Amino acid sequence: MLKKPMSLFTALAVIMTALASASSLAADTMAKSNQFWWPEKLNLEPLRAHDARSNPYGESFNYAEAFNSVDINALKKDIEKTLKTSQDWWPADWGHYGGLMIRTAWHSAGTYRAADGRGGADGGQQRFEPLNSWPDNASLDKARRLLWPVKQQYGRNVSWGDLMILAGNVSLESMGFQTFGFAGGRTDDWEPDLVYWGPETVMLANDKRYSKEGKLKNPLAAVQMGLIYVNPEGPNGNHDPLSAAADMRESFGRMAMNDEEIVALVAGGHTLGKAHGAVKGECVGAEPAAAGIEEQGFGWKNKCGSGKGADAMTSGLEGAWSSTPTAWSMLYLDNLMRFEWTKTKSPAGATQWIPTDEAAAQLVPDAHIKGKRNAPIMFTTDMALKKDPGFRKITERFLKNPQQFDLAFAKAWFKLTHRDLGPRARYVGSEIPAEELIWQDAVPAVDHKLIDTKDAEALKTKILKSGLSIPTLVRTA
């Protein structure tokens, strides 16, 4: 009985040794692309990306039809149940995954930039490198795994792109917020998008994306490699709310968001959930793309304490903004304007802000430890909403007019999560808002009969006789 497992173990060890030496050789024995030898040569790979043969559902699969067959109310109920069922392997803050899912949806859509339309939630690109391993997307690997049972249940009828955004909407609704609506229709990709995210070759670097005059180069929108928007601690961690405001304007602006939308999104997003920085950065291991095969797609393994829940580490900032982080409220805006704030350090060592008023230190219930209470926090980018005169005007107006704040956040959230989907003709499902919005680049509906082939032929002759040359007509078309 003893001998058999022994020999099996020996055999395995032999295989493992062979594998180990093979993997160290891998870099040398791998076929090298021509781009490796001649990096300046024109690379045509972008034109061969997203080959239909990579799509396991085949070319004839019509996702819009598939999504239309889904009972969206049942789907939303399944999502909400997931949100409220805490898993031991990644316990939910206050027993509700809403905050995490709002961030998932936001970061899925937030990569969009207006200049070339790259990025965005369509395609479900957050599943793939580099986005799945961007420092700004830490712990979202857990969010997608929490959603997996829902994805598994609905299969091809609900894409990851749609599921991540819808989970954000359901989170908001589950915590008492009335959303503006939801449109499905995001068709999943099966390979990473090849996108120019900036000239730097190191994550979080930003030494090459600014001109000498300090202008962010086109078509980029984020201020550092691997971030969705800006550094929450201010430009290069300078902790200055005013220069953080300038960065926010530039970054959000390049995603077609104006001041009112910026304030609404930041305030609305931070009304719910918390930030995670309970332990030092050294506790955290490699991102998913660099993690061991046994991690099965997870990254950022945290070896300190329980490594999760009360010891979770994501951005390095720690705490909640509101004292009711799982219920929609005015408390973010109220706290921001009510208290004077002073700089402090999170357990991870990041600079954040807490009220100077010591009575506030007991305002927020801890997300995991019963009976423990904490002070509310603000990021330097939150302080920007108070310190920047332009932002402050809007912040004060929102605080006085909760309905205006609600509507502004609802609309800005809908824009954030839907603008990369394109024209309304691509929207699918039963929760599409009727109101037409200017950023949808709407065209009027056809309110007349269309010309037929004979008419078109006659019109062609007339155009050609109008004196316009072939090159002119071609150029205009």
Chain positions contacting other proteins, by CB under 8 A: 41-44, 46-49, 114-117, 122, 194, 196, 217-219, 254, 256, 420-423, 425-426, 438-439, 441-446, 448-452, 455-456, 458-464, 466-477
Shortest separation between residue 462's beta carbon and other proteins, angstroms: 5
Catalytic residue chosen out of the listed positions 107, 270, 276, 368: 107
Secondary structure element (H or E) that encloses residue 65, with its range: helix 63-68
Q: Which DSSP category does 184 fall into?
A: B
Shortest separation between residue 464's beta carbon and other proteins, angstroms: 5
Residue 210 CB neighbour total at 10 angstroms:
13
Choice between 19 and 64, CB closer to other proteins? 64
Choice between 217 and 303, CB closer to other proteins? 217
Shortest separation between residue 453's beta carbon and other proteins, angstroms: 8
Residue 192 contacts residue 171 (beta carbons within 8 Å) = no
- How many angstroms separate the CA atoms of 191 and 187, rounded? 12
Instruction: Return the ∠ at Cα 11 (arms to 9 and 14), rounded to 5°.
Output: 110
Shortest separation between residue 255's beta carbon and other proteins, angstroms: 10
Residue 190 contacts residue 58 (beta carbons within 8 Å) = no
At position 332, the amino acid (one-letter code) is Y
Shortest separation between residue 78's beta carbon and other proteins, angstroms: 29
Please give the backbone phi and psi of residue 210, each rounded to the nearest 5 degrees, phi first.
-110, 140
Residue 171 contacts residue 97 (beta carbons within 8 Å) = yes
Q: Which DSSP category does 224 fall into?
A: S
- How many angstroms separate the CA atoms of 189 and 191, rounded? 6
Residue 162 CB neighbour total at 10 angstroms:
28
Shortest separation between residue 212's beta carbon and other proteins, angstroms: 14
- How many angstroms separate the CA atoms of 233 and 427, rounded? 37
Please give the backbone phi and psi of residue 320, each rounded to the nearest 5 degrees, phi first.
-120, 155
- Dmax (CA) for the chain in angstroms is 96
107 is catalytic: yes
Choice between 53 and 462, CB closer to other proteins? 462
Shortest separation between residue 123's beta carbon and other proteins, angstroms: 11
Instruction: Report the chain's terminal Cα–Cα distance, integer Å.
Output: 81
Say how far residue 5 (Cα) sits from the centre of its chain. 48
Shortest separation between residue 53's beta carbon and other proteins, angstroms: 13
Choice between 7 and 69, CB closer to other proteins? 69
Q: Following DSSP, what letter does each residue of 365-424 receive, concatenated?
A: E-SSSTT-EE---B-HHHHHHHHSHHHHHHHHHHHH-HHHHHHHHHHHHHHHHHGGG-SG
Choice between 261 and 388, CB closer to other proteins? 261
Torsion, Cα 420 423 425 431, to 10 degrees, reads: 60
Choice between 76 and 113, CB closer to other proteins? 113
Torsion, Cα 95 404 104 50, to 10 degrees, reads: 150
Q: Which DSSP category does 359 fall into?
A: G
- How many angstroms separate the CA atoms of 73 and 430, rounded? 10
**Which one, of 265, 125, 254, lies nearest residue 186 by Cα?**
125
Choice between 164 and 354, CB closer to other proteins? 164
Choice between 2 and 31, CB closer to other proteins? 31
Choice between 188 and 233, CB closer to other proteins? 188
How deeply is 447 buried, as exposed, middle or buried, from its count of CB atoms within 10 A (0-12, 13-18, 19+)? exposed
Shortest separation between residue 49's beta carbon and other proteins, angstroms: 7
Residues designated as active site: 107
